[in-house]
Structure 1
Amino acid sequence: MNEHQGPRPVWESGALPTERFREIPADVLAVIEARTGPVLKAEPVSGGLNSEIAARVHTSTGTVFIKGLRQDHRRVWTQKREADINPHVRDLAPALLWRAEDAGWDLIAFEDIQGRHADYAPGSPHIPLVADTMTRLSAVQAPDIALRDMPDRMKDHTDTPELFAGNTLLHTDWFPTNVLITGGRAVLVDWAWASRGAPWIDPALWVVWLVKSGHTPAQADQWAARVPAWRTAPAEGVNAFAAATVSVWEQITDGDPEPWTLDMLMAARRWAAHRG
């Protein structure tokens, strides 16, 4: 859920060849070009990405989106997580093209999808598209790969983590930059925090974003109800999750919080109060 500002531009028109990719190390560029052919241009992508390298790379044969972390980075495991999940979410996410572990880097390349980041504000035409994608995701069973369970993730924030158990594949990070609107549908990116749990948990996490974006808790609940799994969710479980979500955002904002995290804490508290 952390914002990431991303690197500054890696290419400028008219730059010398040795300068054009100064933000992509030469050894990384060599790894990329071994798979794509000569790189003509690289455009950085920022916002919501926990990567040291995040760029749209143009070659003579097309464009790919590259994410990369050093192999000794503490979150390098997220690269494998995304690669392992991708075959199971091909109709919900950009397709993985290749993964390379070379020159001290872990790189993953996806098909390039042009789209707008989702707008969760009241009246946004994106909201029903997100609900439709969430409905499809809620029917996907968690694959047999390394995934954290939601009871384990939330055990420090509730006395009843068992209420969040299930075998559904969850995205869990509904930051608007992780949802691309393209071709009349919502496509999900950045699956690093995917987990296993009850099918109503993604809608519950989305509700807090909707409240933060200007919806009342009741309106947010109504949008979540577009997802069938939400309509059959046990009230005890949802209420416990609402309270646990407040605890999560209290932990995130403890210390030196950013303004948006304080907004999320306020939204979580409003929703929990609404749930009673």
Structure 2
Amino acid sequence: MVKRTGFDDLPAAVLTAVEKRTGPVRGSETVSFGLNSEVAAYVHGTDRSFFVKGLRTDHKRVWTQHREAAVNPFLRGISPALLWQVEASGWTLLGFEYLDGHHADYSPGSPDLPAVAELLCRLGEVACPDIELRRVEQRLSAYVVRPGDADYFAGSSLAHTDLNNHNVLVDGSTAYLVDWAWASRGAAWLDAAYWVVWLMAAGKHTARSAEEWAMRVPAWRSAPPEAITAFALATANLWEEIAGAEPDPWTAAVLDAARLWVEHRRAV
């Protein structure tokens, strides 16, 4: 987890550059969600508010800022719009449209679930942009059980790859995906598969219930069963590595969900 820096603690030159985009800043609130940004805050300008995230320009993951900026123009109706970018005094910041929504509730019976399913259907209609993106089969190649299983994950669709409920904002009856740092190119059904794990981990669904929600996404319905099973196995292996010997409660919950999903896939 990256240590947070308060928006007001940024160098004066950075704050001045931001105010050229926002007008005088009347206040800011650091947010606790998100693990990869040194700055994450709601910033309130003269006429409107923004969500601002940022990293130092020498941070090892500063490329995630550039990735988000590159993919955002292709995500109208899928993600809050990127309104401005600032690079000054060793910091790079992105200013996004502010949504007065809430993080999706993944629990069974939540009214947010249909909105998230509909979001993934909309995402499936977005053409993958011709920008630099990692490929999911490359990202997961070290975690598959059998040689060649990673080939199931190859494709030409745009994949978010992190359906953590904190990355889904629900505003009214519409859901939006935020934090596109790990956007990748891969098979069209992948985000529905990533959603299954998070429905189980964050929403406490059974594997069967989670897959029933994934069934609402057309790409999932056309995915080969063996491809989904290969993904479940790779996901469990990935979270085994992330968790290590003494996982924190959040990581342990995702690992437990991934293991239970594997048990379910082996039984079907």
TM over 0.5: same fold? yes
Does the aligned pair in 2 maintain the 1:6–1:47 contact within 8 Å?
no
Deviation of residue 55 (structure 1)? 1.2
Counting only pairs closer than 5 Å after superposition, residues 23-102 of structure 1 correspond to structure 2 as: 23-102=9-88
Deviation of 1:141 after TM superposition, in Å, equals 2.4
Deviation at 1:252, TM superposition (A): 0.5
Partner of 1:17: none
Q: Deviations over 1:190-228 (max 9, x none)?
A: 000111100111111110111122111111110000001
Residue 169 in structure 1 maps to residue 158 in structure 2: yes
Return the alpha-carbon distance in structure 2 between the equivalents of residues 64 and 161 of structure 1: 39
Task: Tell whether 2:207 aligns with 1:224.
Answer: no
1:61 deviates by 2.2
Give the equivalent residue in structure 2 for 1:262.
Answer: 252
RMSD over equivalenced CA pairs, Å: 1.5
Q: Which residue of 1 aligns with 2:133?
A: 147
Given the alignment, which residue of 191, 199, 203 partners 1:210? Answer: 199
List per-residue Cα deviations over 1:141-162 (Å, max 9, x = no partner): 2211111001100010012211
Question: Distance in 2 between the 1:274 and 1:42 partners?
Answer: 45
Deviation at residue 24 of structure 1 after TM alignment: 3.1
Corresponding residue number in structure 2 for 1:18:
none
Structure 1 runs not aligned, ≥5 long: 11-20
Give the Å deviation of 1:119: 0.7
Cα deviation per residue 1:64-104 (whole Å; 9 max; x = unaligned)?
A: 11111110011100111111111111111101111122221
| Deviation >4 Å, runs of 4+ | 4-8
Hey, what does 1:197 align to over in structure 2?
186
SS of 2:231's partner is: helix
Q: Which has the higher helix share?
A: 2
Contact 1:31 1:103 in 2 (8 A): no
- Given that 2:11 and 2:89 are in contact with CA atoms closer than 8 Å, whether structure 1 keeps it comes out as no
Partner Cα separation in structure 2 for residue 207 and residue 144 of structure 1: 28
- The letter of the residue matching 1:148 is R
In the alignment, what sits opposite 1:108? 94
- 2:143 matches 1:157: yes
Deviation (angstroms), 1:5: 7.7
SS in 2 for 1:81: helix
TM-score by length of 1: 0.91
Deviation at 1:25, TM superposition (A): 3.1
- Compute the TM-score of the two structures, normalised by the length of structure 2: 0.93
Do 1:97 and 1:111's aligned partners in 2 also have CA atoms closer than 8 Å?
yes
Q: Secondary structure at the match of 1:93?
A: coil
The 1:144/1:34 distance shift into structure 2, 3 A limit, reads same
What is the CA–CA distance in structure 1 between the aligned matches of 2:220 and 2:21, rounded to whole Å?
Answer: 43
**1:13: which partner in 2?**
none
